[in-house]
Structure 1
Amino acid sequence: MTGSVNKSGSVALVTGGGTGVGKAIAQALSAAGHAVVISGRRADVLEQAAREIAAATGGRVEAVAADVGDPASVRALFDAVIEKFGRLDLLVNNAGISAPGVPMEELTFEQWNAVVGANLTGAFLCTQQALRIMKAQTPRGGRIINNGSISATTPRPNSAPYTATKHAITGLTKSTALDGRPFDIACGQIDIGNAGTEMTQKIATGVIQANGSIAAEPTIDPMHIANAVVYMASLPLDANVLTMTVMATKMPFVGRG
């Protein structure tokens, strides 16, 4: 355990919370008063992130290593959350990976499966466990926020596995919102465009465009994404942001490409 303050009494789990956008979201939630559990596959990275977030916010931050694509690992993750806190109020499905940007016919089955496992199956498995907890706990209910990416609506060239999974996340979000409705469980999606992280460094220097050219694209501070998630999480359970897009204003997303 790192830190000790939990002003709101709310417990949040952020998958892929040790780096990048996930870490920024975890820090913003902690600063807003949530107790936070961060998960990811690398225990050392998670522990370091938990210490840094707790030092910055004074909040309680726990690190639990897990592979979201592995059902047994996901069950153990959610068991750990309940063991530590007794409930779960917010799940942020943020963990995800991408495949090499090569023509579709050159992708291997293993590369496809890895992306589907992390981005889609992982979000499903975590949602499944969260629903079980949120339906049974007292007070009942909670909120799930999925990281959809603007790839949930518009692909980049040579991105079939990532784009397919993010399109599917939109379906998962809507199904979860519908199925969770009778149980006071809200579900929404945040679609992110060019958050400036280590994962997106190439975007700032030059990335392939729809017309085949290479161009640098603007990025934004991940804290803008994190603050949007905090807003979504701050709503009472009778209100929901179903979809929100937060993007670099001048990135080539709106318009013909």
Structure 2
Amino acid sequence: MKNLVSIEWLSDHLYDEQLVIVDCQFELGNPENGYTSYLKGHIPGAQYADLEKDLSGEVGEHGGRHPLPDQEQLQTLVERLGIEQDSKVILYDHEYGAMAARLWFLLGFAGHKARAVLDGGLQAWRGEGHKLETKVRQVTPSSYPISLDKSMIVSMNDVKQAQIEGRTIIDSRASERYSGEIEPIDPKAGHIPGAINYFWKNNLNDNKTWKDPEERVGEKEHGHEPIVYCGSGVTACVNLLALQEAGIHAKLYPGSYSDWISYEENQIETK
């Protein structure tokens, strides 16, 4: 299964028995708005997953603003969504696919391969004239023992080792945050020393659909297993998806910049 599917594909397969659809709408700063929007209208049959309640773990001193959920939390989510080993899981949101890409990553981390992000998300579905529903359908919880693939992630110390080795480290935030010109969220401005910048939204068109493959982050050579990060490990997943589509096995630094700066000894760069 491809990592991206079209509106046409989903329309044709909407009532497939093995299909699971997950709505990942979420608004940073207004955390209840995502579920409210889901209730107002979602793709038929879609279940809901919340960035902070379902797709993130408990925030601590380190680990960043959106730590990865632990195995028990992920297990609970997979079973609540009714995902079986033969399920094809389609993920979408309403804002350039970042939240959907986060769950795309987490399902891969949990060992589930057949999952994809809906190209263009909810906006494209509506734009093609397809219906929404407000009903929250009940699903039968699954029984699907997951196994975490920790080869997909790196720790803060792994990032330091990558700096020594000269491996590519990609900062997925907007250029003005990367440069330290502004920092609206985290207490320190700048980026991890040695990182290059590729803004995650540069993979997408203004209408929230994905650009052609040659226009995405994977168009350039990034060496062996580049490391990708953002502010808290969410929007970086869009770059990860683009790199995987290009055949590049990149790794996520889950805590990302917000974890990096939680260690006083860690240096930052601005430029």
Q: Is the shorter-chain TM-score for this pair beyond 0.5, marking a shared fold?
A: no
TM-score (norm 2): 0.30
Greater helix proportion: 1
TM-score (norm 1): 0.31
Greater strand proportion: 1
Higher RCO, Cα 8 Å, sep 6+: 2
